[in-house]
Amino acid sequence: MAFAYDLHIYPSALFPQTHPSRMAAIGTLSGLTPPPIDNCRVLEIACYDGSNLLPMAAALPASEFVGVDLASSAIERGTDLVRRSGLTNVSLQCMDLMDFPADAGTFDYISAHGFYSWVPDFVRARMWEVIDRHLSPNGIAYVSYNASPAGHLRNATREMMLFHLGRARPPLAEMSLVANGFLADMAEIAGGEAVWKSWLEFESGRIAHRDLDVLHHDELAGVFRPFSLTEVCADAAKGGLQYLGESRLRHFFRSPNPDLEKFGPQTFVESEQYRDYVEFRSFRESLFCRAGLELSRPQWEERVEDVWAASSVQWDGDAFCEPHGPLRISTDHPEILSLLNKLVDLWPSAGRIEPHEMAAADPLLKAGVIDLRAHPLVAPGGPGPRPKASPLVRAQLAVNTETSTLVHNIARIPDDEDRQMICSLDGSRTVEQLPSGLAARLSDFYKMGLLLGASA
């Protein structure tokens, strides 16, 4: 029987928040001792075509990666890329999660992104069973889901779109386009309470910027259910798991909301649930660990020197800027300038934050300027004497203009000559043996996270 994701292809994507390096960093800051990610086992539930899993395998060749998904055509595409790249530490399997084998062993990091809110109750229950049975004692699991109460309002617009599609009956390939247009029309003509019109305008704007294939599988899916954090944590607790926190660092470093104290003493989960009510949060990316492990989140500053710091900002002559974002930092603070210059020089690798740098690091961490990793991911020191591009990078650029990097983002290489040069970097030649044009570009390719680095 054909699966929905076989009939309608979902766009491939990377999710840095699911990377074991991110999970381990959050775990370390929270007082855990997560398994080292350079020699770990990773399971991705609903891996689709492996586009999120394969870059991890390329960056961590001594670790093992397993992905399972019900979409056979996606698994075939991913398996073909595994073969072409020569990666030997990753396996993609077409499998119903209900059939996940009991003898699969333990995994140090387990992720299920874009899965929980889109499957029936019995499949969600099975997911927790799999995590409980197979997560290693100090392992960490990631689960994302539509969050309430904002998710309930999104369900209202979903029901409206489904009602209209039921009447219009457009061809399958046009469903997302018709639903998109219908919501835009509703936002324009809606009357009544101003709050409802404002909501429709907000939702119409959000939907208009979504990929139509994503809209088809997300908002128009057979199951689209939001959950409160407390609901998810209660289900996790049945499997012997506790809530660790969110996988995005900006949530870890945000300041407490003193206004919530008026509601009385709260557990960490209760406080987070109140914040969802206040902030109208619609999506969560939550981390879980074994219930018996002791957490000590407030003491994170004592442990930040145990993880690696990285920043992709670049100096443009006037300020530090994100390569593809709005962030712009202008400062004359000498300690902040020193730390940023250090991280710019290290990128795409990472370095330690020293105790004397903590005062400068604190505002940068809270602003999202600094990312934290449990591993450098790219060897420091530049391209090295025998420059070598990641085997996955070479396989992807041989047939495409985009590639996933060793630091888990997307690099676009539109120039044919650049792609050919990168694909030729297989480590067999020294820098002196390379054509002068290629040798001159090595630093650029290294900074993009395409090369394995000097000590790899």
* pLDDT number for residue 308: 97
Q: Which helix (H) or strand (E) holds 283?
A: strand 283-290
Distance of alpha carbon 303 from the chain centroid: 23
β partners of residue 343: none
CA distance 250 to 370: 10
* pLDDT number for residue 100: 97
Local structure of 371: helix, strand or coil? strand
Options 3.40.50.1820, 3.40.50.150, 1.10.760.10, 3.40.50.11030; CATH of 4-148+226-298: 3.40.50.150
Two tokens, residue 253: 């470093």
CA distance 4 to 175: 14
Does residue 384 contact residue 446 with C-beta atoms inside 8 Å?
Answer: no
189, with CB counted inside 10 A (0-12, 13-18, 19+), is: exposed
CA distance 248 to 326: 18
Residues in the chain where the model's pLDDT stays below 50:
1-3, 6
* pLDDT tens digits for range 167-201: 889 887 788 888 889 889 998 888 777 888 888 88
* pLDDT number for residue 418: 95
* pLDDT number for residue 5: 52
Does residue 421 contact residue 383 with C-beta atoms inside 8 Å?
Answer: no
| The residue to which tokens 């499957």 are assigned | 119
Q: What residues does each domain of the chain span?
A: 4-148+226-298, 150-211, 303-373, 391-447
CA distance 124 to 109: 18
Q: Which helix (H) or strand (E) holds 288?
A: strand 283-290
* pLDDT number for residue 3: 47
Does residue 21 contact residue 375 with C-beta atoms inside 8 Å?
Answer: yes
The DSSP annotation for 114-148 comes to S-GGGS-HHHHHHHHHHHHHHEEEEEEEEEEEEBT
How many CB atoms neighbour CB 154 within 10 A?
22
* pLDDT number for residue 2: 45
Q: Which residue, 449, 174, 155, is CA-closest to 312? A: 449
pTM > 0.85: yes or no = yes
* pLDDT tens digits for range 17-74: 999 999 999 999 999 999 999 999 999 999 999 999 999 999 999 999 999 999 999 9
The DSSP annotation for 291-303 comes to TTS---GGGGGGT
